[in-house]
Structure 1
Amino acid sequence: MSNKGQSNGAEVVQFPPRVALTSPDADIASMIEVLQDQLALAREGKLRSVAVVSVSADGEAVGTQWSCKGADVTGLIGKLTVLTHDLMAARK
């Protein structure tokens, strides 16, 4: 039996299309718009701190990230903590 033209166990896995190449739904479009607005402000030097709370698509994982000046860290952590707890309470 010949294996010519047949795969030998290797499969090609297609990655999902990039969000920018598809028609994103309103929630995705809103997230992209918020991030683009913040990036524009950062590029213009108009921000000194940014805090982000991320929730996974299934709602099971909540993460926080921030970038800030040292004096802002305590306030940002507090705000992220409150927001994270609110998000977790809202999903129940």
Structure 2
Amino acid sequence: MFGAMGCILLAAILGKFWLALLAVMFAMPAAWLFNLQCRKCSWPVYRAFGSAKQKYQRDQLLAPLNSKILWNLPAACTKCGTDFSGTDPVESF
């Protein structure tokens, strides 16, 4: 996301509208995908619950930011255990 924001800023400075549009078209789906949350507990789907450092685990804001990111969609929520399999991913989030 920082790369896309930097590309948009660079495109604005250089006056290249198409470069900014390309960066936005890449960044928006990526932001949507990595911000998916569990429908029951609102924990980020691609972050492993309890994997943050001990000093951040109890902090509601910092724990998701410091948790390890999973690269594959897990079968269930790592926080509440809600099953993700067998449902339409768009409807389940």
TM-score > 0.5 by shorter chain: no
Higher strand share: 1
User: Normalization by structure 2: what TM-score?
Assistant: 0.25
Q: Larger Rg: 1 or 2? A: 1
